[in-house]
Amino acid sequence: MFDGGVALNEVQESVLRCPNCQVAMRTETREGIEVERCPQCNGLWLDYAELDLVEDRVFADDHAKATLVYDERSSSGLCPRCSTTLHAFNYRGWNLELQMCEAQHGFWLDAGEDERILELMRQRQKDLDRSATAEEEWGQFVSGLKSRSFAQKSRGVLDKLRAPAPDRPSKLVLQLPWRKRFVLFWRLFRDGRVPFLAKLVIPGILFYLALPFDVIPDFIPFIGFIDDLFVAILGLWLFLRLTPRAIFDEHIDRLGAEIEEESRRR
């Protein structure tokens, strides 16, 4: 390439390429809002750099905050600004699939999705007899998507989705040494915040174990204890299910700290 690198870079930066087709996109203005449209696949890129102020007015409380729920899906498209893979998710308030750059450069809408939004808004207007036109609402919707705070909210949700799911209580119990398992159950049983219904399970187990008539009589060697074992495990599992997770975690953390302390003293 020749030496006019700076000027060339500036030109390249201003030309955004379609995440799917890599074709240069064209700037389009709809309802006063600039969007980039791919001439080949007709998809829409919403770069939200300049539109921070519009968001709070339009996107304040009604649909955005309450319905920002996503199903993250993998996507093959690349961000036109930074070329990292976009993340696809569902914007459920509108049952609309969006793709988002994690570095918060903007959103991608596949071809026809904007038309679908418009159609939805026209329908809503018919139902509600609103004063604003569907086109105006579409413009407000898009400017909402283009705002920085919307992107930040979405990113927060993506981060949450990516955080590892907490381990099941039963798995955490099995990671404890035998003696500590008894300590855990004893402490949970004594904890005033654990629901009474959960606590009922423990005497229930003991009652079954003490019961003279089992499903399988205990005098049959080994097999006779299988049902007792089964009831005990099932009961303890039920007890854990009925115990609030936060309280369980608190006790697990405390036990973990105690085990660590004991091993340090040795």
Look-up of token digits 């405390």: 254
Binding-site size for Zn ion (CB under 5 A) equals 12
**21 touches Zn ion (CB under 5 A):** yes
51, 53, 58, 60 alpha-carbon torsion, rounded to 10°:
120
Q: Does 75 bind Zn ion (CB under 5 A)?
A: no
Nearer to Zn ion, 103 or 257 (CB): 103
Half-sphere exposure in the Cβ direction for 137 (13 Å, CA): 17
C-beta of residue 244 within 8 angstroms of C-beta of residue 194? yes
Please, what is the minimum distance in Å from the beta carbon of residue 194 to Zn ion? 47
Bridge partner list, 89: 98
Nearer to Zn ion, 158 or 242 (CB): 158
Q: Which of 33, 35, 38, 121 binds Zn ion (CB under 5 A)?
A: 38
- Give the residue, chosen from 81, 148, 153, 241, that forms a contact with Zn ion under the rule CB under 5 A: 81
Q: Is 121 left (phi over 0), alpha (psi -120 to 50) or beta?
A: alpha
Q: Which of residues 190-229 bind Zn ion (CB under 5 A)?
A: none
Contact between 154 and Zn ion (CB under 5 A)? no
Nearest in space to 108 (alpha carbons), one of 28, 44, 35: 44
**Position among 16, 64, 101, 231 found at the interface with Zn ion (CB under 5 A):** 101
Q: What is the rounded CA–CA span in Å between residue 145 and residue 233?
A: 50
| Member of 49, 82, 211, 216 binding Zn ion (CB under 5 A) | 82
Contact region with Zn ion (CB under 5 A), list: 13-21, 61-69, 89-97, 180-188 = 13-21
Q: Which two tokens stand for residue 32?
A: 């006063």
Which residues would be at the binding site for Zn ion (CB under 5 A)?
Answer: 18, 20-21, 38, 40-41, 79, 81-82, 101, 103, 105
